[in-house]
């Protein structure tokens, strides 16, 4: 299967000088087309949702990094660095002044201004957990002129730069003010950024194929690329994301030099690639992912804490990770909601998860809860390698504990859309789903989307939990790492008691690329600047 080809056309015999000139010009045009450099990538999911503020889906985030830029980005040490803007902070820590760098233009030809940044940040802060915390402490956020944005706080908030510079869930991507004026319960309909690539809307086939072309007008920073920070220098003309739900098809396409890159490779299929010297397999990021289960707090039966506890007791990390990954070299039993290997790791309350589950305790809790057999609508994506096994294993464990499980297969983008519905499960809503987070995305209570107790303002599942908000405030107030670790342990215990979410282990899936794809950044987020495609 060839996804992009350029063929020179045959020509009739030259009969005169005019025909010869025409033939020469045609050959030159064909040569120019042949020289176009395209990277064809199979990402972990097809892309349907294009608004990076209304969803935390990684494929939407990946799309956003292609076409948008951010004011602040983190380097390889997760330290915030200037990206679109430099900044200064007042002595009292309450006033942040951002200054836009020169040369930034949106893809529609209009200049980027701080009015665009103001509108984008305000829209982002309505949805993002960390943004909500900052806005609780915000006196004003105002573009004072085209180049200057002043963010004034009511009290110092030391993690502000870390929060607006985070690489995921949700980064505050900057878009034109007219687009950022879209309410957060409505998806944007224009996709205009100022980033290193342009989205080719005419070639977009939702869930099937996405095309991006180099933004010739983009002005990179002077510093070398470093994780999400530094100069976003594009060395290719085009990037095409092609969806291949069948893992074997993608593997064969890579071996056949029909595609250049696979974001996530099933571990049991690695032997098919390991014998080819023209293919490189590698882990993109050392900490990997945490896979989690999330319940819906708005509807029965998971509005009952004992039912949530029973469900958690029924689950077994080993069984889920074995089915998901297989090879223990690529997974880790880990009950820490902030991820193992992180400064805030604590495993309080996770014993049943990490030691095979506790079926008898689950049955007893379920009986005590008064559970009446209400069906559990468990959404099960079928087209994402890293998400297909969890609901299958979990549904059987829940049934063994006495739950009536209605596992509903669907593609991931349908799930991403449906999980935003607050309807009753019988009316198109849901009770439970599984997803994955990069460990850096959940390594702190200030960035973890699941640790949000603001009801309808919280992440999908919508828990109302004043205690978790109080604990996050205590974490912010902590003056040392030791104090933060103490509060983090309390948050761990509270999460496991209330079952805000269920951590079901840590894992890493390798990526694979053709050996002529070089200089890919080893960032948690797969990006296509800096990378080169050699002949």
Residues 382 and 501 placed together within one structural domain of the fold: yes
Total domains in the chain come to 2
Which one of 178, 205, 220 terminates a domain? 178
For residue 484, give the CATH number of its domain.
3.10.105.10
- Whether 309 has a pLDDT exceeding 90, the answer reads yes
Q: Using the CB atoms, write b or e for 431-454: b if 16+ within 10 Å.
A: bbbbbbbbbbbbbbbbbbbbbbbb
Which pLDDT score is estimated for 385?
Answer: 87
Answer yes or no: is 350 within a domain.
yes
β-strand partners of 89 = 96
- Whether 494 has a pLDDT exceeding 60, the answer reads yes
Residues 331 and 472 placed together within one structural domain of the fold: yes
Answer yes or no: is 217 within a domain.
no
Which one of 122, 144, 178 terminates a domain? 178
- Whether 4 has a pLDDT exceeding 50, the answer reads no
The residue range of the domain holding 170 is 69-178
The Cα 26–Cα 47 span in angstroms is 36
Residues 172 and 317 placed together within one structural domain of the fold: no
Answer yes or no: is 265 within a domain.
no
Q: Which of 257, 253, 256 is nearest to 265 (CA)?
A: 253
Q: What angle do CA 339, 342, 348 make, to 5 degrees?
A: 55
Three-state SS at 487:
helix
What secondary structure letter does DSSP report for 45?
S
Task: Say if CB 90 and CB 70 are below 8 A apart.
Answer: no
Answer yes or no: is 516 within a domain.
no
Query: What is the DSSP track for 223-272?
Result: SPPBTTBS------SEEEEE---SHHHHHHHHHTTS-SEES---GGGHHH
Torsion angle, CA of 400/406/411/415, rounded to 10 degrees?
-100
Answer yes or no: is 269 within a domain.
no
Res. 3 pLDDT band, cuts 50 70 90: very low
- Residue pLDDT, tens place only, 365-378: 999 999 999 999 99
> Among positive and negative, which fits the CA dihedral 223, 518, 235, 521?
negative
Which pLDDT score is estimated for 78?
Answer: 87
Query: What is the DSSP track for 181-202?
Result: TS-TTS--S-----SSEEE-GG
- Residue pLDDT, tens place only, 87-104: 999 999 999 999 999 999
For residue 99, give the CATH number of its domain.
3.90.76.10
Residues 152 and 301 placed together within one structural domain of the fold: no
Whole-number CA gyration radius for the chain = 25
* Both structure tokens of 511: 């990526």
The H-assigned helical ranges of 325-388 are: 351-354, 359-369
Residues 293 and 173 placed together within one structural domain of the fold: no
Answer yes or no: is 344 within a domain.
yes
Helix count (H) and strand count (E) of the chain? Answer: 16, 21
Mean pLDDT, the chain, integer: 92
Answer yes or no: is 199 within a domain.
no
Which pLDDT score is estimated for 284?
Answer: 80
* Both structure tokens of 77: 């040490």
Which pLDDT score is estimated for 169?
Answer: 87
């Amino acid at each position: 299967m060839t996804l992009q080809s350029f063929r020179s056309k045959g020509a009739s015999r030259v009969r005169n000088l005019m025909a010869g000139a025409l033939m020469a010009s045609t050959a030159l045009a064909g040569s120019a087309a042949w020289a176009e450099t395209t990277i064809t990538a199979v990402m972990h999911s097809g892309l349907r949702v294009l608004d990076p503020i209304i969803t935390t889906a990684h494929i939407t985030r990946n799309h956003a990094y292609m076409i948008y830029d951010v004011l602040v980005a983190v380097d390889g040490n997760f330290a915030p660095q200037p990206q679109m803007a430099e900044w200064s902070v007042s002595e009292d820590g309450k006033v942040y002044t951002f200054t836009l760098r020169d040369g930034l233009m949106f893809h529609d030809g209009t200049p980027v201004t701080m009015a665009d940044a103001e509108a984008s940040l305000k829209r982002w802060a309505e949805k993002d957990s960390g943004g909500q915390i900052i806005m609780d402490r915000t006196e004003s956020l105002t573009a004072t002129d085209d180049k200057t944005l002043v963010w004034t706080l009511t009290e110092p908030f030391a993690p502000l730069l870390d929060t607006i510079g985070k690489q995921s869930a949700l980064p505050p991507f900057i878009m034109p003010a007219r687009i950022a004026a879209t309410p957060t319960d409505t998806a944007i309909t224009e996709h205009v950024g100022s980033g290193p690539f342009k989205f080719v809307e005419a070639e977009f086939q939702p869930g099937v194929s996405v095309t991006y072309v180099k933004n010739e007008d983009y002005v990179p920073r002077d510093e070398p690329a470093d994780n999400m920070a530094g100069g976003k220098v594009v060395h290719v003309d085009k990037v095409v994301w092609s969806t291949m739900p069948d893992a074997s098809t993608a593997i064969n396409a890579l071996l056949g030099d029909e595609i250049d890159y696979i974001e996530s490779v099933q571990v049991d299929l690695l032997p098919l690639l390991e014998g080819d010297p023209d293919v490189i397999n590698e882990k993109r990021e050392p900490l990997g992912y945490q896979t989690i289960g999330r319940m819906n707090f708005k509807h029965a039966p998971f509005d009952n804490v004992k039912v949530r506890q029973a469900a958690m007791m029924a689950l077994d990390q080993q069984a889920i990770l074995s089915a998901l990954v297989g090879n223990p070299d690529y997974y880790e039993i880990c009950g820490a909601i902030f991820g193992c290997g992180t400064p805030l790791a604590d495993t309080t309350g996770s014993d049943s998860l990490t030691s095979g589950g506790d079926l008898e305790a689950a049955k007893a809790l379920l009986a005590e809860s008064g559970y009446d057999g209400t069906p559990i609508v468990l959404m099960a994506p079928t087209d994402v390698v890293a998400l297909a096994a969890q609901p299958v294993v979990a549904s059987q464990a829940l049934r063994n504990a006495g739950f009536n499980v209605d596992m509903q297969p669907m593609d991931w983008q349908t799930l991403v859309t449906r999980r935003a519905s607050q309807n009753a499960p019988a009316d198109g809503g849901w009770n439970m789903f599984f997803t994955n987070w990069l460990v850096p995305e959940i390594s702190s209570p200030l960035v973890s989307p699941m640790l949000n107790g603001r009801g309808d303002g919280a992440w999908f599942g919508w828990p109302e939990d004043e205690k978790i908000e109080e604990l996050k405030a205590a974490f912010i107030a902590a003056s040392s790492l030791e104090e933060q670790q103490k509060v983090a342990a309390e948050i761990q215990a509270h999460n496991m008691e209330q079952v805000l979410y269920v951590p079901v282990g840590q894992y890493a899936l390798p990526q694979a690329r053709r050996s002529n794809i070089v200089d890919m950044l080893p960032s948690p987020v797969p990006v296509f600047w800096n990378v080169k495609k050699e002949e």
